[in-house]
Structure 1
Amino acid sequence: MRMAIMAGLMATGLLAGCGGTEVQPDEQQTLATREDALPACGGKAFSRFYYSEPEMINEVGGWECDCSSSSAYVWGRTTAYHQDIGVTYCF
């Protein structure tokens, strides 16, 4: 009898996991404090294209900044190889 109770308690412990709390989706931090916050455009309108290699042949991501927003529209991924096109200052 004891063995059955012990086995039941051990199985329950394994199913319960390690404990702790999980962050619920509706409890996300504000965008300004998150690690993946959108980049600021710095008062400029421009397009930035990211490439997978220094020769800048294969585009893998980019930004679009315009004067109507203080942050960029981002797609794909960023790399060390990038080029800015059409940089103008917003008034």
Structure 2
Amino acid sequence: MTNDGLQILYNRYYKDNLERQLELEKMRLDDQVSREITKVKKLYNLSNQDLAKLINTDPLTIDSLENGDYEGDSFLMLSLIANALKMAVRFELVSA
């Protein structure tokens, strides 16, 4: 038995529910994408409109990505942004 609130919540709502685990992982990925987009905008002093022009999309899409509200494949969009800026997305597996 654990006293850790996060562990208790995980055990109760996620542990035996693959669908919820996948939703949680998507939220984590979307959060990381959001952080990377914010970082790259600051690094290159880009507005949402500037970034949208680079990948031929709408500034509202960039806003959705940055706020974690994007309904599509956020990792793919981050890859498009990286490619447009001559950058690469690093993806790796690490111990949990």
TM-score scaled by structure 2? 0.26
Relative contact order (C-alpha < 8 Å, sep 6+): which is higher? Answer: 1
TM-score scaled by structure 1? 0.27
Which structure: greater helix fraction? 2
Which structure: greater strand fraction? 1
Computing the radius of gyration from Cα coordinates, the structure with the larger value is: 1
